[in-house]
């Protein structure tokens, strides 16, 4: 076993398993009873064959049968409790890891989620934690019980004939070399299988989320073929895993056969020569046959352990990932109204050598509305993402009330900001809960008031269950305009002084846009607002419009000022007017 594997096992023991040491000690005690009761049967075979059957003593025969029954009953009861305890501990450890993993993920940066497919993360929660549970509960049970059972039976064998036992155990080490070799192969196969499972889960999620596009382009067969290919890859990997597991069985059978033949030959000659009794040989042989079974299981447990180690590695890789957006050591809390938001010479890039914002500077004062326009990729939405500190800038400063946002407590910073985007993220819950997400402490009256301000109360009230109606995943059971108004109601309930609108009406038709724009006007009232817009008609009343191009501010001013300059904004405006005229 490599150092990395040993370290992973140590971490699992110290960070999770040690919390249940009392349960494990009880389970270990039960395992000891199971092992002792297993060894009792071959031990009692000697008196049965040497005395009871030789003397035809019926009374001792009945007593012998009672003892065997009691030993099996004790074994069954102790096995039940050890299994119950260990399965429960295994499940608790899985829940602990899942809770820890989810909590850790909640505080990682958006950059992490951009670089990791959701299907892969789901695979860590389901497949990897299941493998770890099996490794903890099944494997630890197996190792503890089988080692104790093997030791107990070996004790019987050495007690009956130490020389014969020593010779028998010389053969068993022949199993170690193939176990080590196959264990290494198993590790590689398991790691590839888990990676493939993550990719498979991701593709399934992606296909289900984009089912409308799949059907619109008649791509059902294409997706079926793609998934079939992935299933074929998974099948190939799992077949290799099964082959590696299965090959240990014939190896262990051969080794056991050789050991039994040797014992029968050597022991039989001693019985024939009157050096041993038949009871000695039968007792020894019974212990040897019984010892073979736990030894065989131990060889199989190596594969389970490798699976658990590979799963633990993938999970600990995430747990070891540190967020780059960190709360300051001595954070500042904003307890005064936000009088200004300022970008000073801000540069930012998602990847090296791909600058998105280049030396951007602007300032917005309390109650103002500013807008950013420009071509796709100009950096408009990036500005929206930088204000709540979803990402940290490469250089420059972002200031709220002349305080660098890196010095402000993150939770306090984000409490000052409400965001409405074109994505309209709704949870598969009720209208009420989706709006309440804006401020969990809000009363039902406040939720309904926010809904009315967002002009969503009318359509909510007309549904069968009103505010308790389930909207479906991402709000699939309601229209785009309704989804947008629920998002606005959520932002209104938050009642933050800063509003960020990222293409909030871009996915709506003209009529829906007009209705939603009315609700946005109510949301923006008496608040500092930053708008990213594609449709220029929605931002003509903004106090200042900034025109971005290639990550730089090229023009700024009011709508009328920019039109009079006949620059980039003027051309964008003309293009949209011509586009709308053509459509009409």
Write out 81-105 in H/E/C secondary structure: HHHHHHHHHHHHHHHHHHHHHHHHH
Q: Which residue has the tokens 């503890």?
A: 144
Confidence of residue 362 (pLDDT cuts 50, 70, 90): very high
351 bridge partner residues: 354
User: How far apart are alpha carbons 532 and 88 in whole angstroms?
Assistant: 52
Please check whether residue 89 is in contact with residue 136, taking contact to mean a CB–CB distance below 8 angstroms. Answer: yes
Among 187-196, 261-270, 321-330, 520-529, top mean pLDDT goes to: 321-330
CB-hemisphere CA count at 13 Å for 313?
19
- Min mean pLDDT across 310-319, 381-390, 499-508 is at 499-508
User: How far apart are alpha carbons 438 and 487 in whole angstroms?
Assistant: 9
Burial of 10: CB neighbours in 10 Å, binned 0-12, 13-18, 19+: exposed
pLDDT tens digits, 446-479: 999 888 888 888 889 988 899 999 988 777 788 8
Phi and psi angles of residue 350, each rounded to the nearest 5 degrees, phi first: -75, -35
Please check whether residue 528 is in contact with residue 364, taking contact to mean a CB–CB distance below 8 angstroms. Answer: yes
Q: In the chain, which residues fall in CATH 3.40.50.300? A: 329-416+496-584
- The domain covering 3-319 belongs, at the CATH homologous superfamily level, to ABC transporter type 1, transmembrane domain (1.20.1560.10)
User: How far apart are alpha carbons 45 and 427 in whole angstroms?
Assistant: 67
Among 40-54, 163-177, 421-435, top mean pLDDT goes to: 421-435
Per-residue confidence (pLDDT) for residue 361, from 0 to 100: 93
Q: In the chain, which residues fall in CATH 1.20.1560.10? A: 3-319
Q: Mean of the pLDDT values across residues 318-330? A: 88
Termini Cα distance of the chain: 72
- The domain covering 329-416+496-584 belongs, at the CATH homologous superfamily level, to P-loop containing nucleotide triphosphate hydrolases (3.40.50.300)
Confidence of residue 330 (pLDDT cuts 50, 70, 90): very high
Contacts of 233 (CB under 8 A, 6+ apart): 196
Percent above pLDDT 90 for the chain: 15
On the question of pLDDT at 544 being above 90, the answer is yes
On the question of pLDDT at 4 being above 70, the answer is no
On the question of pLDDT at 137 being above 80, the answer is no
């Amino acid at each position: 076993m490599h150092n990395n594997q040993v370290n992973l096992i140590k971490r699992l023991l110290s960070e999770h398993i040690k919390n249940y040491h009392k349960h494990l000690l009880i389970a270990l005690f039960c395992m000891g009873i199971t092992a002792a009761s297993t060894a009792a049967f071959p031990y009692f075979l000697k008196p049965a064959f040497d005395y009871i059957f030789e003397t035809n003593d019926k009374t001792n025969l009945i007593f012998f049968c009672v003892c065997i029954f009691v030993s099996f009953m004790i074994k069954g009861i102790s096995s039940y409790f050890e299994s119950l305890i260990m399965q429960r501990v295994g499940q608790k450890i899985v829940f602990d890891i899942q809770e820890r993993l989810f909590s850790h993920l909640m505080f990682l940066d958006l950059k992490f989620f951009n670089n990791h497919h959701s299907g892969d993360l789901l695979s860590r929660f389901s497949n990897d934690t299941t493998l770890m549970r099996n490794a903890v509960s099944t494997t630890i049970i197996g190792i503890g019980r089988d080692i104790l059972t093997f030791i107990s039976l070996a004790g019987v064998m050495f007690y009956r004939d130490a020389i014969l036992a020593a010779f028998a155990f010389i053969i068993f080490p022949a199993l170690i070399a193939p176990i080590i070799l196959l264990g290494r192969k198993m590790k590689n196969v398991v790691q590839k299988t888990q990676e493939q499972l993550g990719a498979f889960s991701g593709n399934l999620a992606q296909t289900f989320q984009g089912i409308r596009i799949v059907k619109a382009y008649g791509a059902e067969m294409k997706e079926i073929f793609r998934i079939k290919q992935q299933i074929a890859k998974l099948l190939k990997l799992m077949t290799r895993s099964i082959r590696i597991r299965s090959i240990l069985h014939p190896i262990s059978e051969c080794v056991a056969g050789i050991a039994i033949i040797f014992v029968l030959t050597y022991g039989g000659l001693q019985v024939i020569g009157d050096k041993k009794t038949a009871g000695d040989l039968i007792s020894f042989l019974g212990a040897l046959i019984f010892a073979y079974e736990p030894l065989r299981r131990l060889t199989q447990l190596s594969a389970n352990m490798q699976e658990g180690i590979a799963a633990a590695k993938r999970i600990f890789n995430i747990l070891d990932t540190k967020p780059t957006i960190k709360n300051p050591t001595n954070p500042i809390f904003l307890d005064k109204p936000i009088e200004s938001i300022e970008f000073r010479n801000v540069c930012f890039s998602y990847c090296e050598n791909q600058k998105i914002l280049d030396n951007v500077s602007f300032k917005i004062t309390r109650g103002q509305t500013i807008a950013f326009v420009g071509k796709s990729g100009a950096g408009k939405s990036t500005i929206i993402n930088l204000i709540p500190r979803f990402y940290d800038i490469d250089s420059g400063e972002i200031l709220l009330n002349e305080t660098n946002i890196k010095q402000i407590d993150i939770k306090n910073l984000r409490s000052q900001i409400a965001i409405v985007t074109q994505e309209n993220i709704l949870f598969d819950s009720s209208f009420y809960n989706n709006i309440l997400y804006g401020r969990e402490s809000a009363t039902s009256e406040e939720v309904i008031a926010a809904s009315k301000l967002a002009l969503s109360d009318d359509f909510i009230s007309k549904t069968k269950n009103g505010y308790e109606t389930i909207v479906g995943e991402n709000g699939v059971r309601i229209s785009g305009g309704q989804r947008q108004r629920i998002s606005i109601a959520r932002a209104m309930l938050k009642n933050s002084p800063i509003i960020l609108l990222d293409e909030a009406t871009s996915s709506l038709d003209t009529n829906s846009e007009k209705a939603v724009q009315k609700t946005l006007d109510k949301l923006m009232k008496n608040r500092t607002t930053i708008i990213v817009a594609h449709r220029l008609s929605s931002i003509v009343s903004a106090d200042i419009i900034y025109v971005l191009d290639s990550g730089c501010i090229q023009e700024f001013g009011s709508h009328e000022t920019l039109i009079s300059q006949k620059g980039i904004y003027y051309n964008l405006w003309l293009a949209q007017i011509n586009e709308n005229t053509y459509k009409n």
